[in-house]
Amino acid sequence: MSLPPSNPITRLTRRLALPGWSVLSFSLTIVAGALLAAALVTGALVVFWVGVPIAVFVLLAIRAWANAQRRVIGGQLGIVIPAPYKPRVKGRLDQQALSMVREAATWRDVAWLAIDATLGFMVNLLYLSVFGIAVYYLVQPLLLATVFRHTSSPVVNNFGFYDFDTAAKTLMLVPLALACGVAWWRWGELLLRWYSYLGVVLLGPTAKTVLTARVSELREARDQTADYAAAELRRIERDLHDGAQARIAALSLTLGMAEELLRDSKPEEAAKLVGEARGECSAVLTEVRQLVRGIHPPVLADRGLSGALQAMSLDHPLPVTVVDRIPGKLPPPVEAAAYFATNEILTNITKHARASKVCIIVEHVAGVLTIEVTDDGCGGAKVAPGGGLDGVRRRLSAFDGTVEVSSPEGGPTVVTMSIPAAGGRIADQVVL
């Protein structure tokens, strides 16, 4: 992991904020020392029954401390360190304690606890000491010349061999302050970053944990996709049975009645029934076309995702701007998923956003198709179980895709979908 790229102003701000991070880390090292002592005492008491509930409490406290460390280190480095713990076992206290003890993540937390209580204490103390010396001896001449000017004998800088107790004398300590300031500026950030990356190694999930979690996510995505496909098949069957099939059955009866009228030499009445049947046939054809469009739009097969999004923007009741930066052709399953996901988001905007315009930006960079849908509505959108955005998330999870929502109250709302996809030549065009 590495720090995200930033401009000089951001780098300067981050470096000036490091003393605050170090103070926070230093306070956590003190907590680490207390927890380490508690863990050692608990290890001695765990052979007795009274030590079991204490062990559970201490282990949970260590996990809370480790999670605080993950947030502090992640905030300092600009990364996210996920917690690698398994779901907590429910049951007797001895079962809970045994489950946590068996986890490799627990022992990694304990290892970092011991390191942070010793090495972390010294690293942060050294960093803060160098920073404090630089600030103290740079500011001290000014303080002695102003605030403490009328003090008869200020007790400062008593080194045993010489008392720097006046503003003029403390000017001789400015080179020391400058040297500490240069050391802090040059090596302080490197020291804290090195120590923070050591924490990432121990506090972050192992490759095995990441792989296990990934397999679980893929299994869940597969199950959700299978459920979604089964629900879609049931919907298609229901639409065909209740809609087109019933209309065709009625059409057959109408034509049968027309046939009987022709046999009875009643051509005018038969012609009337045939006209009705013709109108019903057109209605059935329209309904079947709508059903087919819901399964796989013809425009998607004919013109690809670009053309399908353009057609979708023209049919939408709001003004929709499409900024198209996608390849000429993508894999059909990816195009279908992107099309229906975008259509679902536009439907949600129409129902809930109270927006006046929508912008869709589609691009393909480094093998990832990204679709960003922005509206100027009221905001407040979120991914709720069973909601439209949750359906989009479940649809894209089958393709290892993600959905991110930024929707503060008052808007604007930005929904960003990312789908891994192979692509070819990129062409840019703007469609209004």
More confident residue, 239 or 66: 66
Q: Which pLDDT band, with edges at 50, 70 and 90, does 424 fall under?
A: very low
Whether 400 and 389 have beta carbons less than 8 Å apart is answered as no
- Judged by average pLDDT, the poorest of 165-174, 300-309, 387-396 is 165-174
Q: Residues 318, 379: contact at Cβ < 8 Å?
A: no
Q: Are residues 119 and 243 in the same domain?
A: no
More confident residue, 196 or 268: 196
pLDDT higher than threshold 50 for residue 77: yes
User: Cα–Cα distance between 37 and 428 in angstroms, integer?
Assistant: 63
- How far is the C-alpha of 117 from the C-alpha of 290, rounded, in Å? 67
Examine residue 71 and state whether it is found in any structural domain, yes or no. Answer: yes
Residue 368, beta-bridge partner list: 365, 420
**81 Cβ partners below 8 Å, 6+ apart?**
70, 73, 74, 200, 203, 204
Residue indicated by tokens 């005492």: 41
Is residue 52 predicted with pLDDT exceeding 50?
yes
pLDDT of res. 114: 92
What is the share, in percent, of the chain residues with pLDDT greater than 70?
Answer: 78
Contact of 95 with 89, CB cutoff 8 Å: yes
pLDDT digits (tens, 9 = 90+) for 306-335: 888 888 888 888 888 888 877 667 788 888
Question: Does the residue 2 lie in any domain?
Answer: no
Span 78-82, mean pLDDT?
83
Listed residues 280, 295, 310: the one ending a domain: 295
Same domain as 311, residue 225: no
* pLDDT over 70 at 253, yes or no: yes
User: What are phi and psi for residue 280, nearest 5 degrees?
Assistant: -65, -35
In a shared domain, residues 223 and 166: no
How far separated are the first and last CA of the chain, in Å rounded? 41
Residues 286 and 310 in one domain: no
Residues 6+ apart with CB under 8 A from 305: 326, 330, 335, 338, 339, 362
Among candidates 258, 360, 285, which has minimal Cα distance to 319? 360
- Assess whether pLDDT exceeds 50 at residue 2: no
User: How many domains in the chain?
Assistant: 3
pLDDT value of position 12: 73
Tell me what the mean pLDDT of segment 95-99 comes to.
77
In this structure, the strands spanning 368-375 and 413-420 are antiparallel
Closest by CA to 255, choosing from 233, 234, 281, 229, is 281
In a domain, 382, yes or no: yes
386 in the same domain as 305: yes
Are 134 and 197 members of one domain? Answer: yes
The pLDDT value recorded for residue 163 is 61
Q: In the prediction, which pLDDT does 425 show? A: 38
132 in the same domain as 49: yes
Residue that finishes a domain, picked among 181, 203, 225: 203
- Residue 3 placed within a domain: no
Q: State the average pLDDT over residues 340-369.
A: 85
Residue 62 pLDDT exceeds 80:
yes
Question: For the chain, what is the mean pLDDT?
Answer: 78
Q: Lowest mean pLDDT: which of 86-90, 179-183, 224-228, 284-288?
A: 224-228
Q: Are 281 and 352 found together in one domain?
A: no
- On whether residue 130 sits in a domain, the answer given is yes
Among 295, 315, 344, identify where a domain stops. Answer: 295
In-domain check, residue 275: yes
The answer on 229 and 246 residing in a single domain is: yes
CA distance 40 to 272: 95
Shared-domain flag, residues 39 and 169: yes
Could you give the percent of the chain with pLDDT greater than 90? Answer: 8
pTM more than 0.75: no
pLDDT at 265 over 90: no
If asked whether residues 38 and 181 sit together in one domain, one would say yes
Lowest mean pLDDT among 36-50, 205-219, 261-275: 205-219
pLDDT band at 426 (very low <50, low <70, confident <90, very high): very low
Q: Which of 141-150, 160-169, 277-286, 307-316 has the lowest mean pLDDT?
A: 160-169
197 and 61 both lie in a single domain: yes
Quick check: is 180 in a domain? yes
The pLDDT value given to residue 149: 62
How confident is the model over 277-300, as a mean pLDDT?
A: 70
Q: Write the pLDDT tens digit of every residue in 357-386.
A: 889 888 888 788 888 998 888 888 887 777
Residue 225 pLDDT exceeds 70: no
Do the domain assignments include residue 1?
no
Helices 267-295 and 207-239, packing angle to 10 deg: 180
CATH number for 420: 3.30.565.10
- pLDDT, mean of residues 137-149: 71
259 lies in which domain range?
209-295
More confident residue, 29 or 231: 29
Give the per-residue pLDDT at 118: 92
Banded model confidence at residue 279, pLDDT cuts 50, 70, 90: confident
What's the confidence (pLDDT) of residue 202? 86
Poorest-pLDDT segment among 117-131, 238-252, 331-345: 238-252
Residue 407 CB coordination number (10 Å): 20
Q: How confident is the model at residue 119 (pLDDT cuts 50, 70, 90)?
A: very high
